[in-house]
A and B are shown apart, each in its own frame.
Chain A
Amino acid sequence: MTAHADTDADADAETATDGREAGGVAVTDRQLDGLVDAAGEGVEFDGLSAWHDETGYGLAVPGEEHAGLDEAAFRAAAAELPAHLTNWYTWQLSIDYPSEPDRSVGAGRHYRAFLRWLEYAPTPSTPAWEETRDVEARYEALAREAGVVRHWGDLRIAVRLDEHGGRSYEVRHVDDVDVPAAELEHHHDPLDARAIGRLDDRGRYRPLRTAPSLATGWVFPALDPRDAVETVETFYPATVANWHLERAGELDVTHWAETAGRQTGIYGIVDELDAGAVDRIAASCCVDSQCHKRREWEFDDDRDLDADPGDGPFPCREPCSLVVAAARKWTTLEREEPRTYEFELTPSEKEQLEAIVDAAADDRTDEIREADVYEGANRYRTRYLRAKLFDEDGNLCGTPTEPETHDDHGDHGDHGDE
């Protein structure tokens, strides 16, 4: 079990338990005090009931009920139910995010639902088809060394119990699942995730935080609930809120046409693109190989896109700024009319050009070995092709892009055309 600071441990004497339900969880006087106080108002939470009426204190969990107790007996009975007691304490007193549907404004309810989901605990917004577990089953899993594991994009989040039934969260890259923690760089401040997520493993800037290019080699070994949420939200901003809004049936999906229509300034032109072009954009930028978000936006209310929306846990509710910025470029490119060019290529040269496009589109050029001349996108093969087919101005087969001006090939149309 991961060591975890718990202020309760310093403040309270521990009450011994036999640990039969909770993997050796030691309940604290503070937790028992809390339940005694709460019994007056009545407790109904995750299968635990506690009350205080004219006959005395009472306590019940599925299959077990104690009534008419004095306070000492009530405390003793509660201490015999460490999973239920500490589960109640953790969720109702320790984790200070508001329960839904207590408040509709503010992100706290999203964060609480996420933490509940991490350990398969039910929430009001849990869909009927999703697996949930009762307190005993959860504690049994949380008490294991591996803890309870969920994936969130490239993040692997393991929840474990601390000694007093609180929660400790380990966050690492899914690809580092088998790497001993000692070999990973340890972090404790959620904001460290900002720097970790800034560059990929090859040192390239990641403007899209949810791109599947998160660097490996780090671990947040023991976060408290609030820091766990902050860490996840720093790696993947706003994903928790959007995930929960979707589950609560409140996700505000904005389709392409509306997003494009409200753009101004240099992006005011993107509403020129037709559904076919938008479909190509979604297929190019928004599929799982490019972004972990699951696309929920379509062309408009009536026209869906054919591109694979992906199947990640968190939704994409609107075309992002990268898509809008790229769409601006495609808008200007799509304004061009096609022309007929004539190139003379061998069959292998045609196939090689196709292989080069494929390798660039799949970001695979770095993987092609230097001497692997059997790969069309191999550097030597590509250089040979260029030497053979390009003229001194870089024109394929000597064919100028513009028939009348030889020096205007390449990225024409990019400069000052608006």
Chain B
Amino acid sequence: MSQALVIVAHGSHLNPDSSAPTHAHADRIREAAAFDEVRTGFWKEEPSLREVLRTVEADEIYLVPLFISEGYFTEQVIPRELRLEGWDVSQWDSDGLSADHVTLTAADTGQAVHYCGPVGTHESMTEVLVRRAETVTEDPDVGPGFGLAVVGHGTERNENSAKAIEYHADRVRETGRFDEVQALFMDEEPEVDDVTDYFDSPDVVVVPLFVADGFHTQEDIPEDMGLTDDYRTGYDVPATVDGHELWYAGAVGTEGLMAEVILERAADAGADVDEAMERVRERTKLAGGDGASEGGAGSPSDAADGADPEADADSDSESGEAATAR
């Protein structure tokens, strides 16, 4: 039986680069020949969440949300827009981090859909954070003498958002690879503005747990940390702030190894992808710092960071409205 993968992401009406990581991961998985079909669907781009399933030939689909945390999008928007019959969040039986998969039928197409938890809460995401640190420092053994900061939006409306950040920070800390590991947030304590207060290490890698670069990762965080007074003038990597060297990595979601997390999610739901996973791991590793990721460049508009689950990260009016809901 043929198996299809559908990756769903936020996308943007304003930022042409927002969907680039999603497409890049989909292309990597296509190259690895893990699935007979790999399709992408978006909340704000096309094909829409509403119509992506009808573009898929297979009658069995692994559906992986390219979002950082469980919440508004994974629990309400995606199941509703894809018409997953009988969906109820209790089917995931999740504590906010443990959503795995549930098999449902799409009401409009009749396809069987294995609806997976978001990439951001999968344990293999920890590895991608570390890989991101390797990529930005161009050092495959980075760790000793370095601190690692994992940065999230940390909206107070959705505790799952902060949970994912702390979960991965804890996991990296347990490996003992970095001298120090700290979870930081944009809008709650401990704040990313004070990053240097939380580290003794001279070098600190800062990795935002966002799925794409955009307004938050390219404008807010660099300015909040003091990498630059004005994001438009750019910043150095590393940049010296308060006597520390800050290696700012940009969104973790642009890292090539993200494709493997997507495959892990599908594998957990029963997809046969073992060989493809090995290929993805090899290819993203061999590519090293060049081409393994989409880098931190992109247009300074808001993007599908997926870390603000209650609101709509890509409000098409003013960004002030993006944070207000209901």
A interface residues, Cβ below 8 angstroms from B: 97, 103-108, 110-111, 191, 194, 198-199, 205, 207-210, 233, 237-238, 240-242, 245, 252, 262, 264-268, 317-318, 320-322, 325-326, 328-329, 411, 414-416, 418
Contact = CB atoms under 8 A, between A and B. Distances in A.
A414 B318 contact: yes
Contacts of B310: 265
Given A106-B57, A238-B52, A241-B54, A264 B110 contact: no
Nearest to B299: A205
B156 interface: no
Contact of A266 (B12, B57, B109, B312): B312
A342 B216 CA distance: 43
14 contacts: A105-B110, A107-B54, A210-B46, A237-B55, A238-B51, A242-B54, A266-B315, A317-B51, A321-B48, A322-B13, A325-B13, A325-B316, A328-B317, A416-B324
Nearest to B26: A191
Given A106-B59, A209-B46, A238-B55, 11 more contacts: A205-B16, A210-B46, A233-B55, A238-B46, A241-B51, A241-B54, A252-B108, A265-B310, A265-B325, A266-B315, A418-B326
Interface of B: 12-16, 23, 27, 43-48, 50-52, 54-59, 72, 76-77, 80, 108-111, 310-312, 315-318, 320-322, 324-326
A266 B324 contact: yes
B79 to A, nearest CB: 12
B324 A418 contact: yes
Contacts of A325: 13, 44, 315-316
A106 B44 contact: no
A242 B54 CA distance: 8
Contacts of A268: 326
Contacts of B12: 207
A316 to B, nearest CB: 11
A321 B54 contact: no
Contact of B14 (A106, A107, A207, A414): A207
Nearest to B112: A105
Contacts of B55: 107, 233, 237-238, 240-241
Given A104-B110, A241-B51, A320-B48, A267 B312 contact: yes
A104 B108 CA distance: 11
Nearest to B51: A238
Nearest to A108: B57
B8 to A, nearest CB: 13
B261 to A, nearest CB: 22
A325 B45 CA distance: 12
B326 A265 contact: yes
Contacts of A328: 316-317
Nearest to A199: B16
Contacts of A326: 316
Nearest to A318: B50
Which interface residue of B44, B80, B316 has the most chain A CB atoms within 10 A? B316
Contacts of A416: 320-321, 324
A321 B51 contact: no
Contact of B109 (A97, A105, A262): A105
Nearest to B52: A238
B14 A415 contact: no
A346 B322 CA distance: 42
Nearest to B310: A265
A241 B52 CA distance: 10
B76 A237 contact: no
A185 B16 CA distance: 22
B16 A106 contact: no
Contacts of B324: 266, 416, 418
